Structure 1
Amino acid sequence: MKLLLFGTGDYYNRYKKWFVHQEILALLDNSKQKQYTRIDEIRVLPPEEGVKLPYDVVVILSFYAKAMKQQLINLKVAQNNIYHFFDLRRLFAQELTEIIRLYPRQYFPSIQDGIEDMKISSKILLMSQDLTLGGPAIALFHTAIILRKNGYNVVFASMIDGPLREKLTESGIPVVVDVCLQIAVMREIDWVNTFSFIVCNTMNFHVFLSERDTKIPILWWLHDAAFFYEGVNKEIITKICLENLNVVSVGPIPQMAINKFFPDLLCGELLYGVTNITDNKAPMDSKSIVQFITIGFLEEIKGQDILLAAIKRLSDSVRKQCRFYIVGHKETLFGEQLQKDSEDIEEIVFTGSVDRRTIHELLDTSNVLICPSKQDSMPTVTAEAMMHAVPCIVSDVIGTAAYIHDGVDGFIFQNEIETALAEKIQWCVENKSVLKEIGKKARDIYEQFFSMEVFERKLLKLVESIVAKE
């Protein structure tokens, strides 16, 4: 089979192993900086040139599936020749068994026998799409800590390895890395069927759940906005049997996304918890510069372009009273354009990626966090900001907006309307003396909904109710 792989970013690196025994004609990417270079000894071409090659299939390795698929269709690629990384099971159907054998699972520490010898009655498997330090994986890490503390035998499994593994093993929680979780279904992975209860984290497990043992109760914890379902095959996800399946979401946004596939699905709520690392915030000098901060990977869905447009709408006198810190990975096509478009605005500072400690230090010295995302289920940074008593300006399409009272304990603006965001920024500058009081009320939101104590109480109640049924 002759393949073109469209996308050379994070999801290319996550899924490229499945193509090592295939003939890859080229990688496709829209970044001019990557075009005509080589990645993994494979040439990178613009899509319009790559599709001229004698390929059989184009595989999209990105969550921007809708836009990328339309781009390919516009280039006269037949729809039945376009696959997404969620379709790899179907693409490799004839050789799937052999491919899976190439990738044995890994145990950390090497305690396969210990895992299999655990008492099945209290043996819980927590399944993550990765071991990065991203929001969903960290939420599942906290779940593991709480369950272990309360007497459950917990094992953490992931599709790929990452830095979170060390934190887990240091906490006494065994880890299994099984890359086959990316393409196999539950019935094909024998070792998972030795558990009494399984938690699947994020919609990335919809293929895994499409063929499962319904005797084992599943808690499917959804964190994903509708955007992340763009590459999902409806025929696959709707195969999921709802028997003994308990679905919870991180607020209303993931629930709305899954209800498009299962309109009558009853979906509970389980918000994540954020560890409290501060109780007090120093008073802000009402004459000081107002420090705004936005945190997140620089990409279109995160809405930093809306923030930049809003900043440009501010008068010079207002803007000079501000400092805007844009924190996050900036070496992207979108990020490079954003920096170019803001070269003349000295009040904007691009920090690039920073570690967790630095994020908390920046939040502790900030007056307002801005979350301009165009889709986001429940961004962790907003809960962390409120934990620091920092009020948030959020778009009305993110999950956090459901817990904020506009002008009381935070601010809400209409999604993608830069003038509306500019008005909120200007209000904060003109009323900087009351931001501290609004921040205190934002802290109340954290304590009521996102504190670790609240999360532990709700998690244990949920788990105990499911286990009690067995």
Structure 2
Amino acid sequence: MEKLLLFGTGRFYQRRREKLYAMLGQDEIVGFLDNRAEEKRIVDGRPVYLPGELSGISYDRIILMSASIREMREQLLQRGVSAARISFYEEYLAAKVAGTVALPIRAASCREKKRILIVAYAMNYDGGTIVAVYAAQALQARGYDVTLTASAIHPDLARDVQAMGVEFVACPTLPYLGDKEREWIGQYDILIVNVFPNIQVACSMRRILPVIWWLHEAGEPYSAIYPHFRYQFSRYDSSTQMGGLQIFGVSPIASRVFSGYYPEVPIGVLPYGIPDTWTHEQARHEIPVFAIIGGIQALKGQRELLQAARVLWRKLRRMPFEVWLIGSESDNAYGREVSDLVQQCPFARFKGILTREKMETAYRSIDVVVCASQEETMSMTCIEGLMHAKVCLTTRNTGIASYLEDGVNGFVCEDNRPEHLADALERIWKARPQWDAIGRRGRMVYEEYFTMDAFGERLEQALLQAESEKA
């Protein structure tokens, strides 16, 4: 039994409090720390202290309940708190469920092919998750025995994964590993570790079996993932901890980002592929539809696209078109601004999160797929658009941009500033008579580079390389 102090009482804590309290067991929360404690001295019936009041409190461990883990931890260390008494929220939960995944794996149905474990991060409808599922499918098609694992999976996605015939096993401690988890993973022949947040998994398993580490993340200032997880897993934040890993970026951009942090560590490029679900059907939709797909966040540029579309709307003197926003909402400042714009723009339609089945239906009505990201290491949505023979618009700061010739098989604008997006939207509008031809040429890009066959071949070559290096 431990006496816990929770550092943070804001949105991070509020969103996780139910799960945290369910996991406490014999542990007891004796109070909170907050730099604004003078504004609220009681939260959930427990006292709230300023960090300067720590000396008078009896506690065993402090749990950081915020995304600002560096600032909080350094503040506590400066006040003399031992590092051993400070835990990240995810680290604390992982310790509570350590050893709960110790499942015997199935015997491989085809022993000349290997048993592959793909370790994903918490699985939702995001690009990194979806391509991990597609990687499992591509390897299964080549006879490998593949299992997917993550700490958790969105219920709708779990049903989709099951329908795809991909086995999923929950490993609640991820991205942390204990001895039991390492023992379980060690039963597989090859490990594919998806995304940078799984740095501990990749680095701690590299001496046990061949490991491919597949990276998708953008760099600063577009994403805080690298700084956040380098600090959270500082023990593994060195090139020596990565020796023996086969590391790939999903595009040259992803590889370049990684090399900016670890210039001594070799990294290759491993683009993904997606299943061909194009039915050649186009729903009857009299009004042209532009769609941007992804959760509402500044990186994705939904605000900038709506601002640009408003310019086009005025230039066309309100000639009808629609802009669909497909993905999860956000209640941060950027999300609220996007929500306000949706209300102000008569052409804007917020569609929310769509399952894969509903997304396939939506594509039949979409004319133009837009990736308005500040930076995107590839762009799942554009590849899906190319596969569906849609016109695609992306910014130059995306991996997919290098596959497109502006105005020929898609459109590329310099960046996601509203004025640049507005100019691109106007060029696309003027090219409406050529949309079908541009879409067909975009489809040819998909067929050459992004089919599941091409993806499977690239994956298999990476597996063989990992095995040969480990031998």
Which residue is equivalent to 2:186?
Answer: 193
Task: Give the 5 Å matches for 1:131-210.
Answer: 131-163=123-155, 164-166=157-159, 174-184=167-177, 189-210=182-203
Q: Secondary structure at the match of 1:230?
A: helix
Equivalent in the alignment of 1:388: 388
2:58 equivalent in structure 1: none
Change (3 A) 1:78 1:61: closer
Query: For residue 7 of structure 2, what is the aligned residue in structure 1?
Result: 4
Matched residue SS, 1:126: strand
Corresponding residue of 1:292: 290
Whether 1:329 and 2:328 are equivalent positions in the alignment is yes
- Where does the alignment leave 5 or more consecutive residues of structure 1 unmatched? 29-34
Alpha-carbon spacing, 1:304–1:57, altered in 2? closer, same or farther (3 Å): farther
**1:230 is the counterpart of 2:227:** yes
C-alpha displacement of 1:18 = 10
Distance between the aligned counterparts of 2:314 and 2:120, measured in 1? 47
Displacement after TM superposition at 1:171 (Å): 6.1
Task: Give the CA deviation at 1:327.
Answer: 1.6
C-alpha separation in 1, matches of 2:163 and 2:412: 40
Task: Give 2:360's aligned residue.
Answer: 360
Question: Structure 1: how far apart are the matches of 2:258 and 2:377?
Answer: 12
Find the residue that maps to 2:433 and give its secondary structure. helix
Alignment partner of 1:244 is 2:234: no
What is the CA deviation profile of residues 373-432 of structure 1, one whole-angstrom value per residue up to 9, with x for unaligned ones?
123222211111111111211122222212222222112223231101001111122221
Provide the residue aligned with 2:310 in structure 1. Answer: 312
Partner of 1:339: 339
What is the distance in 2 between the residues matched to 1:415 and 1:183?
37
In 1, distance between residues paired with 2:229 and 2:316?
45
> What secondary structure, in the 3-state scheme, does the structure 1 residue paired with 2:169 have?
strand
Give 1:353 deviation, angstroms.
2.0
- CA-based RMSD: 4.2
| Map 1:369-384 → 2, pairs under 5 A | 369-384=369-384
Distance verdict in 2 for CA 1:314–1:437, change over 3 Å: same
Higher mean displacement: 378-387 or 164-173: 164-173
Q: Report deviation, 1:245.
A: 0.8
Inter-partner Cα distance in structure 2 for 1:57 and 1:301: 32
Q: Tell me which amino acid in the other structure corresponds to 1:3.
A: L
State how far apart, in whole Å, the 1-side matches of 2:210 and 2:84 are. 24
Structure-2 residue corresponding to 1:32: none
Give secondary structure in 2 for the equivalent of 1:466. helix
Q: Deviations over 1:345-370 (max 9, x none)?
A: 21111122222222222222222111
Contact 1:284–1:436, Cα closer than 8 Å, also in 2 = no
Q: CA deviation at 1:173?
A: 5.2
Question: How much has 1:2 moved relative to structure 2?
Answer: 1.9
Query: For the structure 1 residues 53 and 423, does the alpha-carbon distance in structure 2 shift closer, same or farther, using more than 3 Å as the test?
Result: farther
Normalised to the residue count of structure 2, the TM-score between the two structures is: 0.79
Q: 1:245 to 1:430 in 2, by over 3 A?
A: same
Contact kept in structure 2, 1:210 and 1:239, CA below 8 Å: no
Residue 276 of structure 1, CA deviation: 0.9
1:125 to 2:127 alignment: no
Return closer, same or farther for 1:434/1:319 CA change in 2, 3 Å cut-off.
Answer: farther
Q: Give the drift of 1:52.
A: 7.8
Residue type matched to 1:230 in 2?
P
SS for the counterpart of 2:147 is strand
Q: Offset of 1:304 from its aligned partner?
A: 0.9
Q: Matched residue of 2:343: which SS?
A: coil
CA contact (8 A) 2:64 2:87 kept: no
| Deviation (angstroms), 1:61 | 4.5
Which moves more between the two structures, 189-198 or 207-216? 207-216
* Alpha-carbon separation, structure 2, partners of 1:379 and 1:262: 24
> Hey, what does 1:100 align to over in structure 2?
95
Secondary structure of the residue that 2:241 maps to in structure 1?
coil
TM-aligned CA deviation for residue 199 of structure 1: 0.9
2: CA distance between counterparts of 1:15 and 1:378? 34
Q: What CA deviation, in whole Å up to 9, does each residue of 1:209-249 have, x standing for no partner?
A: 34345242110011111212131336432165333210111
Residues 431 and 415 of structure 1: CA distance in aligned 2, closer, same or farther (over 3 Å): same
Q: Is the 8 A contact 2:289 2:368 kept in 1?
A: yes
Q: 1:58 to 1:467 in 2, by over 3 A?
A: closer
Name the CA distance, whole Å, in 2 between partners of 1:467 and 1:346. Answer: 56
How does the TM-score come out when normalised to structure 1?
A: 0.79
- Which stretch of the first structure deviates more once superposed, 128-137 or 400-409? 128-137
Q: Distance in 1 between matches of 2:468 and 2:183?
A: 25
1:260 equivalent to 2:294? Answer: no
Give the structure 2 partner of residue 31 of structure 1. Answer: none
Relative distance call for 1:354 and 1:101 in structure 2 (3 A) is closer
| Identity %, equivalent residues | 19
Cα distance in 2 for residues equivalent to 1:187 and 1:308: 49
Q: Could you report, residue by residue, the CA deviation over 1:224-283 in whole angstroms, capped at 9, with x for unpaired residues? A: 112121313364321653332101111122212211221133222222211111153549
Q: Is the 8 A contact 1:328 1:352 kept in 2?
A: yes
Taking the aligned partners of 2:215 and 2:162, their CA distance within structure 1 comes to 25
CA contact (8 A) 2:139 2:146 kept: yes
Change (3 A) 1:352 1:115: same
Q: Name the CA shift for 1:161/1:280 in 2 (closer, same or farther; >3 Å).
A: closer
- Asked if the contact 1:225/1:375 (under 8 Å) is kept, the reply is yes
**Alpha-carbon offset, residue 15 of structure 1:** 8.3
Aligned residue for 1:439, secondary structure, equals helix
- What letter corresponds to residue 309 of structure 1 in structure 2? Q
User: Quick one: distance in 2 between partners of 1:446 and 1:211?
Assistant: 36
Distance, in Å, in 1 between the alignment partners of 2:129 and 2:6 is 31
CA distances 1:60-116 after superposition (whole Å, capped 9, x unpaired): 644xx5xx97xxx6xxx6844499xxxx999349xx899636443247xxx626469
